[in-house]
Amino acid sequence: MSVRIVIDSLNFVRDAGVRHGKISLIEFKRLHDLLFDQNGELTFQVTGQLDKNNKPGLNLEIQGYMQLTCQRCLGKILHCVDVNTFLLLAKSEKELNQADEDDTLDVILAAPDLDIIDLIEDEIILSLPISVRHAEGECSSPASSENIISDKTNTLHPFATLALLKKHEPKE
């Protein structure tokens, strides 16, 4: 496991800090269940800056590719990560609650020990589609439920269909 990147968020903005680099997908523990494999890395840049109202915030950019798992056929899907977001820093819980009323703002609580890797993982998870799956007709499994349902001549018992699905493991 690599070294965590921890910043004091308000000081980072005050000093106009910039951090950038590459992170291996294996570092994102909460993403593991969604990934087809943990190969690859993402590039990131975090910049501390003031918004147009002179409020502190973090500009976060993340780019790269990852292989996600299709929820239909369990095959792999190449997913492009391209996140560019500005996170306003709230100095207190009260300020955070007030800012949460505005749906156009992304606000997080300023912290003296903000973990950048966790923040990046949060933003990646938020950027993922709700249901990860291939487009219609692109699934790799010959026994996918769509194929069985669309075949009107198929009169297999539901448990026989399940047995077919278990026999066809996803191909890499």
Whether residue 142 contacts residue 80, with contact meaning beta carbons closer than 8 Å, is answered with: no
Nearest to 86 by CA among 117, 33, 35, 123: 123
d(CA 121, CA 62): 10
Whether residue 127 contacts residue 55, with contact meaning beta carbons closer than 8 Å, is answered with: no
List the pLDDT tens digit at each of the 172 positions of the chain: 466 889 999 999 999 999 999 999 999 999 988 899 999 999 999 999 999 889 999 999 999 999 999 888 888 999 999 999 999 999 888 888 887 777 778 899 999 999 999 999 999 999 998 888 888 888 875 444 444 444 444 555 667 666 666 666 565 5
Ranges of H-type helices in the chain: 9-14, 93-100, 116-127, 145-150, 158-167
Token pair, residue 63, equals 């780019």
Q: Where are the domains of the chain?
A: 6-138, 141-172
